[in-house]
């Protein structure tokens, strides 16, 4: 959010055009952008108050990652900050910042992200545990490759990825189809009715349930509240090659931006850098 506040000048004067320019500077490309800053009466701005900020944007290309946001809409409640912190370009809130936000992502943009050098480099660093599986050599090095994502109807998603050997030979094709639900009044994203296949053979449900339980723990949005970030999902719409999310966000002044988003609350949860390949199908043929 610090980039969003940087449009406040050292003199404490805010104009919509300056706000748009500052927001554009956070992205490599912006197709459409409209910003409205409500700060009447204007002297309140010098006291560290903004009545409301509204942002509507299309086609936002992130600088840090090769990822495009198809649409973004944001509207804040009143914002209170320490005026001197703006001069130092390190905005500091006096009270929690609250906002409603709507995001739209397309299937094409998500796949482009999955095929980006950053994500492929991350996949190559994952520790693939192949212990006790017949078709894989115990001391060999394996890596994930060629991730693909598809948005289905009725709030369902499809994902597939290949497991390749060190000489780039494809050993396993892993496919996952799952439903997505919002529970606990927007506090948790839940994967439901998940089906996993390995080389077209369906994986036994007891193994899938264990993996899904682990992931659902990570998708509990209450995990971020200890760091000062509260998120509640108000709407999730999956279909027609687009994924739409509407949420309420509250940021405490103490929020540290530590990279603990969606981290497991239980210490017994296995880290994501250690992956166990489950290749035990309900029918014979893989093991």
Tens digit of pLDDT for each residue in 84-110?
876 666 778 899 999 999 999 999 999
Q: Give the pLDDT confidence score for residue 141 in this predicted structure.
A: 65
Is 136 part of a structural domain of the chain?
A: yes
Q: Give the pLDDT confidence score for residue 55 in this predicted structure.
A: 95
Q: Decide if pLDDT at 31 tops 80.
A: yes
Is 39 part of a structural domain of the chain?
A: yes
Confidence (pTM): 0.77
Residue with the larger pLDDT of the pair 118 and 136: 118
Between CA 77 and CA 85, with CA 83 as vertex, the angle to 5 degrees is 105
Is 211 part of a structural domain of the chain?
A: yes
Please check whether residues 128 and 212 belong to one and the same domain: yes
Residue with the larger pLDDT of the pair 177 and 154: 177
Domain boundary among 42, 64, 95: 95
Domain boundary among 95, 119, 147: 95
Over residues 170-204, the pLDDT tens digits come to 788 999 999 999 999 999 999 999 999 999 999 99
* Confidence grade of residue 128 (pLDDT, cut at 50, 70, 90): low
Domain count of the chain? 2
Please check whether residues 10 and 85 belong to one and the same domain: yes
* Contact of 160 with 195, CB cutoff 8 Å: no
Q: Give the pLDDT confidence score for residue 254 in this predicted structure.
A: 82
Q: Decide if pLDDT at 58 tops 90.
A: yes
Residue 273 CB: number of other CB atoms within 10 A? 9
* Integer Cα distance of 287 and 272 in angstroms: 24
User: Which secondary-structure segment (H or E) carries 73?
Assistant: strand 68-76
Please check whether residues 127 and 198 belong to one and the same domain: yes
Please check whether residues 66 and 136 belong to one and the same domain: no
Mean pLDDT of the chain: 80
Please check whether residues 27 and 167 belong to one and the same domain: no
Please check whether residues 198 and 64 belong to one and the same domain: no
Domain boundary among 95, 130, 153: 95
Is 262 part of a structural domain of the chain?
A: yes
Please check whether residues 54 and 179 belong to one and the same domain: no
Instruction: Please report, rounded to a whole number, the percentage of residues in the chain having pLDDT higher than 70.
Output: 75
Please check whether residues 67 and 201 belong to one and the same domain: no
Over residues 236-259, the pLDDT tens digits come to 999 889 999 999 999 999 885 443
Q: Decide if pLDDT at 14 tops 90.
A: no
* Confidence grade of residue 260 (pLDDT, cut at 50, 70, 90): very low
Residue with the larger pLDDT of the pair 46 and 193: 193
Is 230 part of a structural domain of the chain?
A: no
Question: Which residue range(s) make up the domain with 91?
Answer: 2-95
Q: Give the pLDDT confidence score for residue 42 in this predicted structure.
A: 67
Is 251 part of a structural domain of the chain?
A: no
The least confident of 209-213, 218-222, 265-269 is: 265-269
Instruction: List the beta bridge partners of residue 191.
Output: 180
Q: Give the pLDDT confidence score for residue 143 in this predicted structure.
A: 82
Is 233 part of a structural domain of the chain?
A: no
Please check whether residues 85 and 135 belong to one and the same domain: no
Please check whether residues 74 and 113 belong to one and the same domain: no
Please check whether residues 140 and 266 belong to one and the same domain: yes
Q: Decide if pLDDT at 126 tops 80.
A: no
Of 58, 55, 52, the C-alpha closest to 98 is: 52
Please check whether residues 132 and 175 belong to one and the same domain: yes
* Confidence grade of residue 212 (pLDDT, cut at 50, 70, 90): very high
Q: Give the pLDDT confidence score for residue 37 in this predicted structure.
A: 86
Classified as helix, coil or strand, 190 is strand
CA of residue 102 relative to chain centroid, distance: 13
Is 281 part of a structural domain of the chain?
A: no
Q: Give the pLDDT confidence score for residue 89 in this predicted structure.
A: 66
């Amino acid at each position: 959010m610090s980039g969003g506040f940087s449009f406040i000048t050292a003199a404490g004067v805010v104009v919509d055009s300056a706000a748009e320019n500052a927001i554009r500077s956070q992205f490599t490309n912006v197709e459409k952008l409209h910003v409205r800053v409500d700060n009447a009466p204007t002297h309140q701005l010098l006291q560290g108050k903004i009545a409301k900020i509204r942002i509507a944007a299309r086609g936002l290309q992130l600088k840090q990652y090769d990822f495009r946001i198809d649409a973004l809409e944001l509207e804040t409640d009143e914002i209170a900050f320490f005026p001197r912190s703006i001069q130092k370009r390190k905005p500091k809130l006096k009270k929690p910042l609250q906002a409603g936000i709507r995001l739209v992502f397309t299937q094409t943009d998500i796949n482009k992200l999955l095929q980006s050098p950053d994500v492929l480099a991350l996949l190559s660093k994952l520790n693939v545990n192949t212990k006790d599986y017949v078709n894989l050599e115990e001391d060999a090095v394996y890596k994930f490759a060629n991730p693909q994502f598809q948005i289905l109807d009725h709030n369902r998603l499809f994902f597939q990825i290949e497991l390749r050997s060190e000489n780039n030979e494809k050993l396993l094709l892993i496919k996952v189809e799952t439903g997505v639900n919002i529970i606990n009044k927007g506090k948790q994203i839940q994967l439901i009715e998940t089906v996993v296949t390995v080389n077209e053979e369906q994986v036994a449900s007891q193994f899938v349930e264990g993996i899904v339980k682990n992931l659902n723990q990570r998708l509990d949005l209450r995990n971020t509240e200890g760091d000062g970030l509260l998120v509640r999902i108000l709407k999730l719409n999956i279909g027609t090659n687009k994924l739409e999310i509407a949420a309420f966000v509250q940021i405490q002044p103490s929020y540290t931006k530590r990279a603990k988003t969606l981290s497991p609350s239980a210490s017994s949860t296995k880290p994501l850098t250690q992956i166990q390949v489950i290749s035990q199908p309900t029918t014979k043929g893989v093991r």
